[in-house]
């Protein structure tokens, strides 16, 4: 598959701050994947003096859950026992070396996972959500999905998804994929600020597919025009050809040996999501690299 790129270096100019990181929400089920996410969040918190909100959502028996709100209807013996067990696991988690010296708040809720994550992120005015994911494939991906995918699709704030142990500040190359339409400019401001925080080279890329193909010169001109409104310290412009956009993003990241992928998501829902899918979800599912998504308004 073809690839075109140019590299530019400009003197560093302050970028208007959109990507705040005062509060980081980390949902946890105490799994290995959740621990990977927590460690990545801790790295961000140390650099940005952030508060980490650790959230555990308990799955109560159906007869204890309000079918409308998804929250627990009563604090019976079983619920109390589950709450106590979660508190014990939090105490063990808090002993992790990477959390020492950080401002960490624990929250336990009897709530459906996805709804609980969204509720807490809004209530606490969270700036970014960090989640772990195993990734899925095939029919489970289409019909069931995961809480991580739902959060990526619908979150109004940036979501960072990690698949394994991640040294986020060792990252050097950050791929940002987009069609670079006008509606993506606010999203790009977030991505650019995130890149500034990590001190990485940001690689802007348009993925060309057989269904929607543009010549390299036109694609490059579109990106050049798009970035005229921004002052960027270190970046490249790229055009990559592949059979689908999500595969193209992942393959391009492999091609340049990137450390991190970023992209915008429209947050499709319902029938639209079933037929059209969500590129953010697809990339989160199949990429092995950390992926950070930003809502396109």
Tell me how far apart the alpha carbons of residues 132 and 119 are, in angstroms, rounded to a whole number.
Answer: 19
CA distances from 274 to 63, 133, 145, 245, 285 (A): 30, 21, 11, 17, 16
Distance CA 217, CA 219 (A): 6
What was the pLDDT predicted at 39?
97
Q: Is 156 part of a structural domain of the chain?
A: no
Give me the residue label for tokens 């990590």. 198
Q: Let me know: does 51 contact 20? Beta carbons within 8 Å.
A: no
pTM for this entry: 0.84
- Are 13 and 56 found together in one domain? no
Region 39-60: what's the mean pLDDT?
Answer: 92
Residues 40 and 121 in one domain: yes
- Is 43 part of a structural domain of the chain? yes
User: Could you say which DSSP state residue 14 is in?
Assistant: P
pLDDT reported for residue 17? 41
What number is the average pLDDT over the span 81-104?
A: 90
- From CA 32, how far away is CA 93, in angstroms rounded? 11
Contacts of 52 (CB under 8 A, 6+ apart): 24, 26, 38, 41, 42, 45, 99, 102, 103, 104, 105
Task: Tell me what the mean pLDDT of segment 90-95 comes to.
Answer: 91
Instruction: Locate all alpha helices (DSSP H) within 144-200, ordered by sequence.
Output: 147-154, 185-198
144 within a domain of the structure (yes/no): no
pLDDT at 71 over 70: no
**What tokens were used for 200?**
């990485």
**Cβ atoms within 10 Å, residue 272:** 12
Give 68's contacts (C-beta < 8 A, 6+ positions apart): none
In a domain, 175, yes or no: yes
188 phi-psi bin (left φ>0, alpha ψ -120 to 50, beta other): alpha
Q: What is the pLDDT of residue 5?
A: 43
Do β-strands 51-58 and 103-110 pair in parallel, antiparallel, or remain unpaired?
parallel
Q: Which of 126, 159, 181 corresponds to the end of one domain?
A: 126
* Residue 61 pLDDT: 57
Statement to judge: residues 68 and 111 lie in one domain? yes
| Per-residue model confidence as pLDDT tens digits over 151-203 | 888 899 999 999 999 999 999 999 999 999 998 998 999 999 999 999 999 99
pLDDT tens figures, 6-35: 443 333 333 344 567 999 999 998 889 999
* 277 found inside a domain: yes
Note whether 236 and 201 are within 8 A (CB).
Answer: yes
What integer pLDDT is reported at residue 161 of this predicted model?
Answer: 94
Name which residue leads in pLDDT, 133 or 177.
177
The domain spanning residue 75 has which CATH number? 3.40.50.620
pLDDT of residue 40: 97
Same domain, 209 and 269: yes
Q: Report CA torsion sign: 216, 225, 172, 233.
A: positive
Task: Report the number of distinct structural domains present in the chain.
Answer: 2
Q: Is residue 163 part of a domain?
A: no
Give the residue from 96, 126, 156 where a domain finishes.
126
Structural domain contains residue 233: yes
Is residue 61 in some structural domain? yes
The 3-state DSSP class for residue 61 equals coil
Contact 187, 294 (CB under 8 A): yes
Residue that wins the pLDDT comparison between 228 and 114? 228
Q: Are residues 70 and 99 in the same domain?
A: yes
pLDDT at site 153: 86
> Binning pLDDT at 50, 70 and 90, where does residue 273 land?
very low
Q: Which residues are within 8 A (CB) of 51 and not within 5 positions of it... i.e. 6 or more apart?
A: 22, 23, 24, 45, 103, 104, 105
Find the domain containing 203 and state its range: 3-17+168-295
Q: Are 65 and 110 in contact (CB under 8 A)?
A: yes
Among 139, 159, 157, residue whose Cα is nearest residue 149: 159
Comparing 239 with 133, the larger pLDDT belongs to 239
Are residues 104 and 218 located together in one domain of the fold? no
Same domain, 9 and 41: no
pLDDT at 37 over 80: yes
Decide which of 126, 160, 190 is a domain's last residue.
126
234 in helix, strand or coil? strand
Residues 183 and 236 occupy one common structural domain: yes
Q: Which two tokens stand for residue 244?
A: 């689908």
Same domain for 95 and 36: yes
Mean pLDDT of 71-89: 72
Q: What percent of the chain has pLDDT over 90?
A: 55
| Contact of 263 with 279, CB cutoff 8 Å | yes
Separation of alpha carbons 245 and 282, rounded Å: 10
- Of residues 144 and 133, more confidence is placed in 133
Q: Are residues 28 and 42 in the same domain?
A: yes
The pLDDT-based confidence of 266 (bands split at 50, 70, 90) is confident
Q: Which residues pair with 241 in a beta bridge?
A: 208
Tokens of residue 42, six digits: 């801790």
If asked whether residues 197 and 265 sit together in one domain, one would say yes
On whether both 191 and 247 belong to a single domain, the answer is yes
């Amino acid at each position: 598959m073809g690839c075109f790129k140019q590299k530019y270096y400009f003197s560093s100019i302050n970028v208007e701050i959109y990507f705040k990181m005062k509060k980081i929400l980390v949902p946890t089920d105490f799994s290995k994947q959740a621990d990977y996410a927590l460690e990545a969040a801790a790295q961000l918190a140390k650099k940005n003096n952030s508060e980490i909100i650790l959230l555990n959502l308990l799955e109560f028996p159906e007869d204890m859950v309000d079918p409308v709100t998804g929250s627990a209807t009563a604090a019976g013996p079983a619920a109390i026992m589950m709450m106590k067990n979660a508190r014990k696991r939090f105490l063990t988690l808090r002993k992790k070396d990477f959390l020492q010296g950080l401002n960490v708040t624990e929250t336990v809720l009897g709530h459906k996972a996805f709804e609980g994550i969204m509720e807490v992120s809004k209530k606490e005015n969270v700036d970014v959500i960090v989640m772990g994911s195993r990734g899925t494939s095939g029919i489970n991906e289409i019909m069931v999905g995961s809480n991580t995918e739902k959060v990526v699709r619908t979150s109004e704030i940036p979501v960072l998804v990690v698949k394994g142990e991640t040294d986020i500040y060792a990252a050097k190359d950050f791929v940002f994929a987009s069609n670079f339409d006008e509606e993506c400019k606010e999203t790009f401001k977030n991505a650019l600020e995130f890149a500034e925080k990590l001190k990485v080279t940001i690689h802007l890329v348009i993925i060309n597919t057989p269904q929607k193909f543009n010549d390299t010169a036109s694609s490059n001109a579109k990106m050049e025009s798009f970035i005229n409104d921004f002052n960027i310290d270190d970046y490249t412009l790229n055009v990559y050809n592949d059979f689908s956009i999500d595969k193209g993003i992942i393959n391009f990241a492999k091609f340049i040996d990137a450390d991190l992928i970023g992209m915008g998501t429209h947050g499709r829902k319902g029938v639209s999501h079933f037929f059209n899918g969500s590129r953010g979800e697809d990339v989160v599912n199949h990429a092995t690299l950390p992926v950070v998504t930003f809502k396109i308004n």
